[in-house]
Amino acid sequence: MRILITGADGQLGSELCRVLGYETIIPMTLPDFDLTKPDVEPKIVDASPDLIIHAGAYTDVDAAEREPNVVMAVNARGTREVSKAAARLGVRLIYISTDYVFSGQQRTPYHEQDDPCPINQYGFSKWKGEQAVLATGINSLVVRTAWLFGAVGKNFVKSIARAAQSETVLRVVDDQRGCPTYAEDLAYAIVALMTKDVAGVIHLTNRGHCTWYELARAVVHEMGAGCPILPITTLQAGRPAKRPQYSVMSNSRCASLGIVLPEWSQALARFVRGPSMSLAEPQCAPLPHT
């Protein structure tokens, strides 16, 4: 089986490539493969995969507020083109989406049948991407995940780990709650989902939930660092994009298929204590990312 992966050098895409094995995959990356260009569909059709995993996306939540047209071009229209290619080839499409399709007004975990109501440009564009996938009528699965961390690229965990080594005190948002998810665990779970006869929308995160502040404390604890962390509010953080206050997702549909990811705190410990957390590359600001 040949699996085409968009965003193959991103945080999740690179884990998928590693887990699936490079001989199986057809990696699609910028600049050769650009979701905003008109040749998305023909390029995928030419590659002739048996399955598509669409992980490529514009993921900078704050920048998306300044560039609504760009984020829509990548996440909504680009996804529509990927869906058209899947339809033309008659192959299954797995689309990676986000907890940020929800408004965050609930105080109980979001289920797949709950109505999305995004409150920022990024979430809106990903929801439009979901609709493009589901409207095509192809064999597809929308996998909503959240708060990713992993070895490749920028993420909150690496930002906190780096800041804990250089700052005297960290201030982190404590009024947004979600489900941190280890890209490696997610990649293995997506591979498991590939073998299941499941369609529609499914939620998939590590178990448990926390605030960004609680996550930051856990990172510093796992590092054995002594850097103090102060909780702040979303208002105090003053980020350009609104974020859901509560975007915890229920994993019950996935669990019914026998797929259950470990607790986020265990996954975090594996990541922080393991060999893959390199802090050498530039990081984003130590506040909520995607």
Ligand X SMILES: NC(=O)c1ccc[n+]([C@@H]2O[C@H](COP(=O)([O-])OP(=O)(O)OC[C@H]3O[C@@H](n4cnc5c(N)ncnc54)[C@H](OP(=O)(O)O)[C@@H]3O)[C@@H](O)[C@H]2O)c1
Sheet holding 51-54, edge to edge: 25-28, 3-6, 51-54, 92-98, 140-145, 200-203
Nearest to 15 by CA among 252, 165, 191: 191
Enter the tokens of residue 51.
């399955």
Q: Which of residues 121-150 bind ligand X (CB under 6 A)?
A: 126, 145-148
Q: Which of residues 89-128 bind ligand X (CB under 6 A)?
A: 96, 98, 126
With CB under 6 A as the contact rule, the residue among 5, 10, 16, 247 that binds ligand X is 10
Q: Which of residues 179-238 bind ligand X (CB under 6 A)?
A: none
Burial label for 154, CB within 10 Å (0-12, 13-18, 19+), is: middle
Could you tell me the smallest distance in angstroms from the CB atom of residue 203 to ligand X?
11
* Residues with Cβ within 8 Å of residue 10, at least 6 apart in sequence: 55, 56, 57, 59, 152, 153
Residue 13 binds to ligand X (criterion: CB under 6 A):
yes
Could you tell me the smallest distance in angstroms from the CB atom of residue 56 to ligand X?
4
Residue 74 binds to ligand X (criterion: CB under 6 A):
yes
* Residues with Cβ within 8 Å of residue 23, at least 6 apart in sequence: none
Which is nearer to ligand X, 55 or 254 (by Cβ)?
Answer: 55
**Contacts with ligand X: how many residues (CB under 6 A)?**
28
DSSP H/E element including 92: strand 92-98
Which is nearer to ligand X, 16 or 91 (by Cβ)?
Answer: 16
With CB under 6 A as the contact rule, the residue among 4, 16, 35, 82 that binds ligand X is 35
Region from 18-26, 55-63, 166-174, 239-247 binding ligand X, contact rule CB under 6 A: 55-63
At residue 6, the 3 state secondary structure works out as strand
Which is nearer to ligand X, 37 or 228 (by Cβ)?
Answer: 37
Q: Which residues pair with 231 in a beta bridge?
A: 172
Instruction: Return the active site residues.
Output: 122
One character per residue 251-290, x = contact with ligand X (rule: CB under 6 A)? --------------------------------------xx
Spatial separation of the C-alpha atoms in residues 126 and 142, rounded to whole Å? 11
Query: Which residues sit at the interface with ligand X, rule CB under 6 A?
Result: 7, 9-13, 29-30, 33-36, 55-59, 74, 96, 98, 126, 145-148, 153, 289-290
